């Protein structure tokens, strides 16, 4: 039987139900919504061909790499301080 916050073989800390902990789920959802919002703004800007389209596209590419790395760093920091 798995105890609460027991580490699994993959190294993920899981709660009672076998799901990742609540802070991890919240951080992942925030990351997903930020990326979706950024992609939507970039798409709308491209459709209407505004002067900001190129900058938004570059920001979208950068955030596609940066936000998951930031989330990974957050998870590492949480693991170290547990």
**pLDDT in the model for residue 49:** 83
In a domain, 6, yes or no: no
d(CA 82, CA 80) in angstroms, rounded, equals 6
Dump pLDDT digits (tens) for 34-62.
Answer: 888 888 888 888 888 878 888 888 888 88
Q: State if pTM tops 0.75.
A: no
Is 63 inside any structural domain? yes
Could you tell me the residue range of the domain that residue 31 belongs to? 22-80
Please check whether residue 3 lies inside any domain of the structure: no
Residues with Cβ < 8 Å from 82, sequence gap 6 or more?
13
Could you tell me what percent of the chain has a pLDDT over 90?
0
**Total tally of structural domains belonging to the chain:** 1
Cα 42 to the center of its chain, rounded Å: 18
14 belongs to a structural domain: no
């Amino acid at each position: 039987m798995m105890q609460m916050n027991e580490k699994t073989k993959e190294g993920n800390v899981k709660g009672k139900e076998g799901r990742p902990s609540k802070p991890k789920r919240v951080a992942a959802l925030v990351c997903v919504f930020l990326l979706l919002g950024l992609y939507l703004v970039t798409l709308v800007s491209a459709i209407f061909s505004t002067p900001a389209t190129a900058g938004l596209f570059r920001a979208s590419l950068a955030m596609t790499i940066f936000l998951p790395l930031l989330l990974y760093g957050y998870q590492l920091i949480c693991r170290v301080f547990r």
